[in-house]
Structure 1
Amino acid sequence: MTWWKEGIVYQIYPRSFADSTGNGVGDLRGIISKLDYLVELGVDIVWLNPIYQSPNDDNGYDISDYDAIMAEFGTMADFDELLAGLHQRGIRLIMDLVVNHCSDEHPWFVSSRANPTGPYRDYYFWRDGDQDRAPNNWLSVFSGSAWEFDPASRQYYLHLFSKKQPDLNWANPDLRQDIYRMMRRWFDKGVDGFRMDVINMISKHPHLPSVGDEIQLSWGGEYFINGPKLHDYMQEMHREVLQHYDCMTVGECFDVDIEQGKQLVGADRNELQMIFQMEHMALDHGPAGKWDAQATWSRVALKSILKRWIEGLDGIGWNSQFWMNHDQPRAVSRFGNDQSFRIESAQALAAVTLTLPGTPYIYMGEEIGMTNVQYPIEAYRDLEITSWYREQLAQGRDPVQLLTSIHRMGRDNARTPMQWTDGPQAGFTTGMPWLRVNPNFAQINVAAAQAEEQGVWPWYQRLIALRKVRKTLVYGHYESFMDSSEQVFAYRRRDANGDFLVLVNLSDQPADLTLPEPVRRDDWHLVMTNRGPADQPSRPNLAQPSVWLQYLSPWQAVVAERPLGVNNGT
């Protein structure tokens, strides 16, 4: 048994999960109060977004003290109680490791800024430059230049994200050792692993060159993504820290291809166990990127991306499967239909996540089909949203069009408070929430979802339970069918212990199936389906193999099993 392969991860954005104090901000004691909820759902790994001390310029991803708990979230005693409560329930905890950058209020940076000749100066990227001209033309992720001028030393420092998030210089061995010591302290406390934030950005080109036209701001990813020393640093981290613990690691990695993925997660590479590859997260992006996202996306492209990663890493490394996280829009609004087929499409997406090869990740609220929001600009709290909106408005863009893009792709879609009940503030807080609750909480909430026998929550619960007992859905060989279909995602998982067929209609229209003859035989036993005869009264019983092997209703998902010993060759 490999626990991080067989486990199901549940991601919690602490600020928005549950507030125990009434101050409108989720906290550790709020999470503690919901531990039995996690047990009931069936998850066995929790990933927490950053809970470290932070001035919160970027909601905790600007860390000022890696060894302290953010006061808004509670105390270290609260954390210890949370960790113990999880472990008592058989749930492991992975933390967010944010070491590409820290806060400008971290003591390292305070010292670095104050003393140009001191030992911490080289923990960051300081470069000469005129006050009106930065050292290079790199564009920040959050708009504007990636450099900030420091009048006192008359130098610039690099920040690929906010100016309050200076990049750490991993070329400095003392910095790396400080990071490794910090990681060991958390492991020794009992945490079970790390999700590593933008980890493939820690190695920069040593000369930090400009991109193309040196005057116009440009994305410099070719010089700081998958950099020249990335694998050296990851292997050193493994030698110094990771190999000494029974731990789980997953790296957030942008702009990686299969070959780079193999290097990062290859079992013989001693780097990471999994990565979040973001290729399918760009399916709906337009020519200008995420803010130019289109309402439609290609199912064929989706299946092709997932298949390439599954087959590319097969026998080499391990996959991760997810539809969303705290940086992405709500899955049912983006990849499903959050209006006429909200429940069915949320179920269909869940069927894919929980039956594909790789560790499944569920983001809080996904298990009840929470949706995107459409707020006025003043209601948003995300730094990325507000920075981009101001920049685009200054360039003369139509505010209505800008808001449409934000409604579709803004990160605050995922960060609205968890909807527990139909009571005040969705049961999240007794006070005023830090971010508005989605107005649809009266209809979409945990209490209502758990009571719906055919709803989203019970469907997740049953799928999780199935994956736990049928290890073929973890380790079985993957074989796909109907790859050119713009509606149907069809595949088989099989090994010596089982043979499963998964059929999912990812569209609003009925779909006819064209499966190969050996698969079409009626010796499959239906394990789960989210659509029944009442959904299409003019059709025969949709729960019968003779029907669902030929036809799927809109957003129907089928999980079927063939008895062992049947001649099941294809």
Structure 2
Amino acid sequence: MEKKWWKEAVFYQIYPRSFQDSNGDGVGDLKGITSRLDYLQELGIDVIWLSPVYQSPNDDNGYDISDYGNIMKEFGTMADFDEMLDAAHERGIKIMMDLVVNHSSDEHAWFMESRSSKDSPYRDYYIWRSSREGKEPNNWASFFGGSAWEIDPATGEYYLHLFSRKQPDLNWENPALRNEIYEMMTWWLDKGVDGFRMDVINFISKVPLLPDGEILKGLVYGNGAPYFVNGPRIHEFLQEMNSRVLSRYDLVTVGEMPVVDVEEAMLYTGDERSELNMVFHFDHVNLGYGEYGRWSVEDWKLTELKTIFSKWQYGLEEKGWNSLYWSNHDQPRAVSNFGNDSEEYRVISAKMLAVCLHMLKGSPYIYQGEELGMTNVHFPSIEDYRDIETVNGYRDFCGSGLIAHDAMLNAIHHRSRDNARTPMQWNGEPHGGFTTGTPWIEVNPNYTAINAENVLADPNSIFYFYQQLIQLRKNNDIVVYGKYDLILEEHEEIYAYTRAWNDEKWLVICNFSDSTPLFQLPVSLASYTSAAWVIGNYPESGRNIASFQLRPYEALVFSLKQ
């Protein structure tokens, strides 16, 4: 296993709009991030993944980019960006930019030229098709509801948009378009950024004929995913990107890849493949999805989670590398989704989740507020939500009668992307210290209890527990490079596994329940007669390693001795 700095790093995602507002306009900004770098340095993280800060009309909160070489005015200026980049580097923190090149904004100069005429040299920068029998070119659904096609009156043709109609898909078949993207990436890397997180990057290659997709029960539009996910030229495009840009820098790359399996991930991340360093898969965050995806809330079993994590741990053991995360800007809050966010168990279960994830093999990602134990928000009305996917989902599913209002609001409380986007809770002042103005989305009402000021004043807080885990990683190669093996595979309350590196062996035990299950050391580990306590989320107490009761949501790490 080749050692690399990004394998040893801990990443922290910042969603700029919701992190810290410096000028009272209710929107987080770059100066706000700069003002909080000391906080992140104290936590101990190595890399900030910065969600998009490029110029954008903000239809999808910055993931609709109108100018890749400028900063969104709400976030500040390029001078503010440079100041933030320098200040981060001075603290030993790297910056990984969000690269969104499956689509642009419809207000990007390329698209405005592209739609101006069928003869425009920019026409083939996007995917245009004529109507089919007076209707859309195919039956694909947009991820944000409705058709994935929008007719443009100027030329009478349709353009493809897998997301919002203001996010037309770029045509990666066009080498001139690819050249422009590579030049833009090079410009940012020469400026000093340290890598890219690539948004839905496995969507960039489409099957040229764009066939119809299967229409699922009760829906109007078809599932086009088989024809644009991991498409026919995806590896060719990424290898070209690597050759032209990525290989020239010491950087980190991670591809967001919905509907990717382990075998495909090995192709994307294998050292000899010259593509990317790691991928974000969605297998675990899709647990509990039902007939209508995230808007169907169903129970899931711990054995399902263990199967998913283990599949990826074993699959990328020799080739490739795992990215480890519980939540991000598109997912519910970790402690609400995988732990227990009740007053009694929120802190202890958040620490348990931290142990479970950070002791796995791979690079861990902390989403802003995770180190505070921030929770989902239960806004009472759909009018309180800002996320385009949530608002359109309510319109489509409730409007059609597929999901009743109460059931849909329950699903939104569980799954809306706005759960992750409520402002960072810094203190107990109005709006959680996020802004002196009116926030672009309301702060979670529990900010008076759950905030950074409180956790920094509490030596037993989730924040300092994360700090300890990060230091363990920095001081012990076994955490980064050790071999993973699952034990107690069928247990529905305990997730336990070992890590092995050279002559060391660590045992990780996590109780995912509020009960007190009995842990019994399996026969395969019977030769280990003693254990040294490494870290735990309850006060250390002497245990007979062979058999003991776990406390609710308890997490323990032992160094085993023979």
TM-score with structure 2 setting the length: 0.96
Are residues 1:201 and 2:203 paired?
yes
What is the CA distance between 1:424 and its match in structure 2?
A: 1.1
* Paired residue secondary structure (1:206): coil
Equivalent residues in 2 for 1:364-375, closer than 5 Å: 364-375=368-379
Q: Which amino acid aligns with 2:148?
A: A
Measure the CA separation in 2 of the matches of 1:548 and 1:22.
57
Aligned to 2:41: 39
What is the CA distance between 1:514 and its match in structure 2?
A: 2.6
* Paired residue secondary structure (2:142): coil
Equivalent residues in 2 for 1:400-415, closer than 5 Å: 400-415=406-421
RMSD in angstroms over aligned alpha carbons? 1.5
CA contact (8 A) 2:66 2:106 kept: yes
CA contact (8 A) 1:54 1:62 kept: yes
Are residues 1:531 and 2:534 paired?
no
Aligned to 1:298: 301
What is the CA distance between 1:475 and its match in structure 2?
A: 0.4
Are residues 1:394 and 2:396 paired?
no
CA contact (8 A) 2:117 2:154 kept: no
Are residues 1:476 and 2:474 paired?
no
With 522-531 and 491-500 compared, the bigger mean Cα shift is at 491-500
- 108 and 549 in structure 1: CA distance in 2 versus 1, 3 angstrom threshold: farther
Measure the CA separation in 2 of the matches of 1:61 and 1:526.
45
What is the CA distance between 1:498 and its match in structure 2?
A: 3.1
C-alpha offsets along residues 111-164 of structure 1, whole Å, 9 cap, x if unaligned?
000121011100111100069510000000001000001111010000000000
Equivalent residues in 2 for 1:63-462, closer than 5 Å: 63-129=65-131, 133-212=135-214, 216-294=220-298, 296-339=299-342, 340-375=344-379, 376-396=381-401, 397-462=403-468
Q: Which amino acid aligns with 1:385?
A: T
Equivalent residues in 2 for 1:462-501, closer than 5 Å: 462-496=468-502, 498-501=504-507
TM-score with structure 1 setting the length: 0.95
Measure the CA separation in 2 of the matches of 1:181 and 1:497.
47
Q: Which amino acid aligns with 2:66?
A: S
With 365-374 and 545-554 compared, the bigger mean Cα shift is at 545-554
Equivalent residues in 2 for 1:544-555, closer than 5 Å: 544-546=542-544, 549-555=547-553
- 548 and 186 in structure 1: CA distance in 2 versus 1, 3 angstrom threshold: farther
C-alpha offsets along residues 339-368 of structure 1, whole Å, 9 cap, x if unaligned?
031001100000012110000000000001
What is the CA distance between 1:455 and its match in structure 2?
A: 2.0
Runs (4+) off by over 6 Å: none
C-alpha offsets along residues 180-205 of structure 1, whole Å, 9 cap, x if unaligned?
00000000000000000000000000
Are residues 1:18 and 2:20 paired?
yes
CA contact (8 A) 1:353 1:361 kept: no
CA contact (8 A) 2:506 2:559 kept: yes
CA contact (8 A) 2:215 2:223 kept: no
* Paired residue secondary structure (1:114): coil
Measure the CA separation in 2 of the matches of 1:82 and 1:312.
38
What is the CA distance between 1:450 and its match in structure 2?
A: 1.8
Measure the CA separation in 2 of the matches of 1:434 and 1:41.
27
- 128 and 482 in structure 1: CA distance in 2 versus 1, 3 angstrom threshold: same
Measure the CA separation in 1 of the matches of 2:370 and 2:546.
26
- 443 and 213 in structure 1: CA distance in 2 versus 1, 3 angstrom threshold: closer
Aligned to 1:538: none
What is the CA distance between 1:281 and its match in structure 2?
A: 1.1
Measure the CA separation in 2 of the matches of 1:189 and 1:498.
42
Measure the CA separation in 1 of the matches of 2:464 and 2:108.
44
User: For structure 2, which runs of at least 5 residues remain unmatched after alignment?
Assistant: none
What is the CA distance between 1:401 and its match in structure 2?
A: 1.7
CA contact (8 A) 2:530 2:545 kept: no
* Paired residue secondary structure (2:272): coil
With 14-23 and 129-138 compared, the bigger mean Cα shift is at 129-138
Q: Which amino acid aligns with 2:27?
A: V
* Paired residue secondary structure (1:46): strand
Measure the CA separation in 1 of the matches of 2:491 and 2:358.
21
Measure the CA separation in 2 of the matches of 1:549 and 1:420.
42
Are residues 1:511 and 2:513 paired?
no
Measure the CA separation in 1 of the matches of 2:426 and 2:348.
20
* Paired residue secondary structure (1:390): helix
Measure the CA separation in 1 of the matches of 2:253 and 2:514.
37
C-alpha offsets along residues 350-408 of structure 1, whole Å, 9 cap, x if unaligned?
00121100000000000010000111211111000111111223213422221111111
CA contact (8 A) 1:454 1:530 kept: no
Q: Which amino acid aligns with 1:270?
A: S
- 4 and 278 in structure 1: CA distance in 2 versus 1, 3 angstrom threshold: same
Measure the CA separation in 2 of the matches of 1:88 and 1:419.
26
CA contact (8 A) 1:522 1:546 kept: no
Measure the CA separation in 2 of the matches of 1:506 and 1:103.
42
What is the CA distance between 1:98 and its match in structure 2?
A: 0.2
Q: Which amino acid aligns with 2:382?
A: I
- 487 and 212 in structure 1: CA distance in 2 versus 1, 3 angstrom threshold: closer
Q: Which amino acid aligns with 1:394?
A: G
What is the CA distance between 1:517 and its match in structure 2?
A: 3.8
Q: Which amino acid aligns with 1:237?
A: M
* Paired residue secondary structure (2:75): coil
Measure the CA separation in 1 of the matches of 2:215 and 2:543.
61
With 96-105 and 110-119 compared, the bigger mean Cα shift is at 110-119
Q: Which amino acid aligns with 1:551?
A: Q
What is the CA distance between 1:516 and its match in structure 2?
A: 1.8
